[in-house]
Amino acid sequence: MIVTLTTDFGEGSSYVAAMKGALLAVNPAVSLVDLSHRLPPQGLVATAYFLSDALPYFPAGTIHVVVVDPGVGTDRALLGVAWAGQVILAPDNGCWTPLTRRSPEPPRVYRLDQPRYWRPTVSATFHGRDILAPAAGHLSRGVGIEEIGSDCPEWVELRLPEPVLAGDVVRGLVVFVDRFGNLVTNIPAGAVRPGAEVHLPGGGRPRLVRTYGEAEPGTPVALIGSNGRLEVAVVNGSAAGQFGLTAGAAVEVRRPR
Amino acid sequence: MIVTLTTDFGEGSSYVAAMKGALLAVNPAVSLVDLSHRLPPQGLVATAYFLSDALPYFPAGTIHVVVVDPGVGTDRALLGVAWAGQVILAPDNGCWTPLTRRSPEPPRVYRLDQPRYWRPTVSATFHGRDILAPAAGHLSRGVGIEEIGSDCPEWVELRLPEPVLAGDVVRGLVVFVDRFGNLVTNIPAGAVRPGAEVHLPGGGRPRLVRTYGEAEPGTPVALIGSNGRLEVAVVNGSAAGQFGLTAGAAVEVRRPR
Amino acid sequence: MIVTLTTDFGEGSSYVAAMKGALLAVNPAVSLVDLSHRLPPQGLVATAYFLSDALPYFPAGTIHVVVVDPGVGTDRALLGVAWAGQVILAPDNGCWTPLTRRSPEPPRVYRLDQPRYWRPTVSATFHGRDILAPAAGHLSRGVGIEEIGSDCPEWVELRLPEPVLAGDVVRGLVVFVDRFGNLVTNIPAGAVRPGAEVHLPGGGRPRLVRTYGEAEPGTPVALIGSNGRLEVAVVNGSAAGQFGLTAGAAVEVRRPR
């Protein structure tokens, strides 16, 4: 069984290592896959985009442990979310709700309240190691999610900033910058018609293309990226560097006249 | 069988990749788990804290390859340490000794001196790839540790800085800063009574709490962290940033009057 | 079956996570091994050195997915390269050719042109996720490389900068700097005779040794590193820092007089 780990602990942190130990102690045969340990500290919006962009590619049966937890040390619940044949284990902070909201498959949500599936001693500040990791271990051994938790009728919903349509203009924003300096926005493919104009703060006007290969290296372009949203790039260069923009910057798409 | 890797090579280094290859060449069926490749270069103290905080969570049977090696290229020995059903393979530099010293289970220590379990050619500067990785591969296939090494009566002991008790004051220090800017100290839980006062250099006086949830975001707090030692945090913020402190900073705990 | 991943996406990128999902969706039983996600963006020369230094250590049967792709979004081919019992899947950019060129075993090269082994929908900009990862999944399930691709008679060759011999002087350069600040050059062991003098820009004259242990901490040395090429190091220090040099710096080896 595959168990993935997604955290904001930083690669190489002893917190990640301890979680792996606590998981393998329950099921040494698990197939452990690191997804990310580099989400911004307490960054729920970034986590929501990350999960939305990555989890749809995983097979049914995968168990995902997601620990980005601004509510650490409070009495926020810990959830098990069954969705599309996969299970997400996470604090109740809504990070998974944008993923399931856009999906036709409704989630079933459980509150993890069965201490016999936890470590015998539970710390006040590290439920990832003491509750979520062992719970994932038990799930991976075939324990049902309805055994490790109870039906949970309510949970925190996270709302991502949505692009706004005003007349012929769609106003969105940069939601993250990838390692290539591409500015990935929240503007969906459906809002970008052929011939549309893309306007950046400071006057940047990247040319709309279908793919990088339509422009020379060094050219600013806008295109629908691999996750189905508009992104601004510089071919073999950095749009973030060239335009001096980062996450949060406004991006406008104007329909062709 | 699980084999973990812990190094100071940096993530994505070809040195890590070559070690993985050398290990998988001996046992392609091994379950490879990265713990950290980001320990400070030659940082034995940080490595000792890392192992102490992470290895107790792993199941019996786990094999850990730990390559932080200030003595690379000298004739320092390479050791196999059997402890708590696990095995640690590391250069003889003491990084594992604080872990086993605080444990009731004594280590059995072997010197790796059986070249038939090494790569056929051994470089002068990369024993992690040429000796430790293949040795881990053979162990994971069921070869006994007493076959790949010989009884080793003496080894390097590493002493970590211990907090000092003077009157009603315990003086310790920050041993590492995590990605959240938490200042993790060497002061054990037992030295911190309810009502104690925590004093930082520069006059900081974080309030002692049991968990983050007892204070508002932005508040400096001190609490017993998930590894059983005092840490200073700012709720949803960075204590390292707010107090301008880093590893090595002095921390005092004064008993309540 | 082992499948390794090597990219320039950055650790923790959702692009890496999505590739892992797309691979596991085809073969959940695969043994996934991260090699590097930190190659320089579009850095083919660094990728070529990385593959040359790491892949020879892997066992026959390993499948390597290598996505460093300056031609993303163009019509460059995607290749499957059978070499030494291993398979490398990569865009046609030559990154693997220095590895196979120095090996006695010739590569067999296939063009991946069988869409039934791809994801049903292929994006314009993420062939790693949509073509290479699922192709690796099918290979790992036993599909032959000649089923997922067709014989490819021509491919891009990448030429690495070679050291130049002029009289008694070999002129090479630093090809990468590792995390310890070691300056790893392209000068092969065979070009460095005992007693040779090593000259750095700015007048540095590190002493030629066989291994770090022959000099005191803090001493600049030159030695044949674990990958068989000359490197300049400072024992327990940083040669890059001490000499102010980085990748691309010229290094000269003068034969003993």
pLDDT digits (tens, 9 = 90+) for B186-208: 999 999 998 999 999 999 999 99
Pick the closest to residue B14 from C229, C107, C39 (CA basis): C39
Q: Which residue in C27, C138, B250 sits closest to A58, CA to CA?
A: C27
> Residue B256: its pLDDT value, please?
78
Per-residue model confidence (pLDDT) at position C155: 98
Report chain C residues whose CB lies below 8 A from the CB of B71: 213
A214 vs C contacts (CB less than 8 Å): 73
Helix, strand or coil, per DSSP, at residue A189: helix
B130 — pLDDT class (breaks 50, 70, 90):
very high
Q: Can you give the C-alpha Rg of chain B in angstroms? A: 20
Q: Which residues of A touch B35 (CB under 8 A)?
A: 12, 16-17, 20
Q: Determine whether the interchain pair A61/C28 forms a contact, defined as Cβ–Cβ distance below 8 Å.
A: yes
List the structure tokens of B61: 């049977």
Cα separation values, B154 from B94, B107, B127, B179, Å: 11, 12, 20, 37
pLDDT of residue C213: 87
- Residue ranges of alpha helices (H) inside A27-141 are 44-54, 97-101, 127, 133-140
Pairing of strands B220-224, B207-208: parallel
- The per-residue pLDDT for range A183-242, each reduced to its tens digit, is 999 999 999 998 999 999 999 999 999 998 899 999 999 999 999 999 999 999 999 999
pLDDT in single tens digits along all 257 residues of chain C:
999 999 999 999 999 999 999 999 999 999 999 999 999 999 999 999 999 999 999 999 999 999 999 999 899 999 999 999 999 999 999 999 999 998 999 999 999 999 999 999 999 999 999 999 999 999 999 999 999 999 999 999 999 999 999 989 999 999 999 999 999 999 999 999 989 999 999 999 999 999 988 999 999 999 999 999 999 999 999 999 999 999 999 999 998 76
**Pairing mode, strands C207-208 and C220-224:** parallel
What's the pLDDT at C171? Answer: 97
Alpha-carbon gap, residue C193 to B101, rounded angstroms: 47
Calculate mean pLDDT across residues B137-141. Answer: 98
Amino acid at B100: T
pLDDT-derived band at A11, boundaries 50, 70, 90: very high
Helices (H), A178-244: 239-243
Task: Give me the residue from A10, A18, A124 closest to B57, CB to CB.
Answer: A18
Measured CA to CA, the distance from residue B172 to residue B224 in angstroms comes to 14
pLDDT at A177: 95
**pLDDT mean over B222-250:** 95
Indicate the residue type of A220: P
For B48, nearest residue in chain A (alpha carbons) = A14
Give the pLDDT of residue B73: 87
CA distance A22 to chain B (A): 5
Cα–Cα–Cα angle for B211, B213, B219, rounded to 5 degrees: 90
DSSP structure class, residue C212: G
Å between C14 CA and nearest CA of chain A: 6
Q: Which two tokens stand for residue B173?
A: 């220090």
CA distance A204 to chain B (A): 34
Q: C178 to chain B: which residues are within 8 Å by CB? A: 9-10, 13, 15
**Mean pLDDT (whole number) for B35-53:** 96
Provide the shortest C-alpha distance from residue A184 to chain C (in Å).
12
Whether C125 and A225 have beta carbons less than 8 Å apart is answered as yes
| A58 Rama class: left (phi>0) / alpha (psi -120 to 50) / beta | beta
Q: Residue B52 — φ and ψ, nearest 5°? A: -65, -35
Enter the tokens of residue A191: 């809002």
DSSP state of B25: H
Instruction: Tell me which of C16, C75, C125 to substitute to probe the interface with A (most A C-beta atoms closer than 10 Å).
Output: C125
Region B30-56: what's the mean pLDDT? 97
ipTM for the predicted complex: 0.96
- Percent of chain A exceeding pLDDT 90 equals 94
- CB within 8 Å: A39 and C14: no
**Would strands C86-91 and A164-166 be described as parallel, antiparallel, or unpaired?**
unpaired
Across B49-78, average pLDDT: 96
Q: CA B195, CA B256: separation in Å to the nearest integer?
A: 5
User: Distance between CA A219 and CA A221 in Å, rounded?
Assistant: 6
Mean pLDDT computed over A113-137: 96
Instruction: Choose among B94, B90, B128, B87: nearest CA to B108.
Output: B87
Give the model's pLDDT for residue C256. Answer: 78
Mean pLDDT of all residues in chain A?
A: 96
| DSSP bridge partners of C136 | none
pLDDT of residue B170: 97
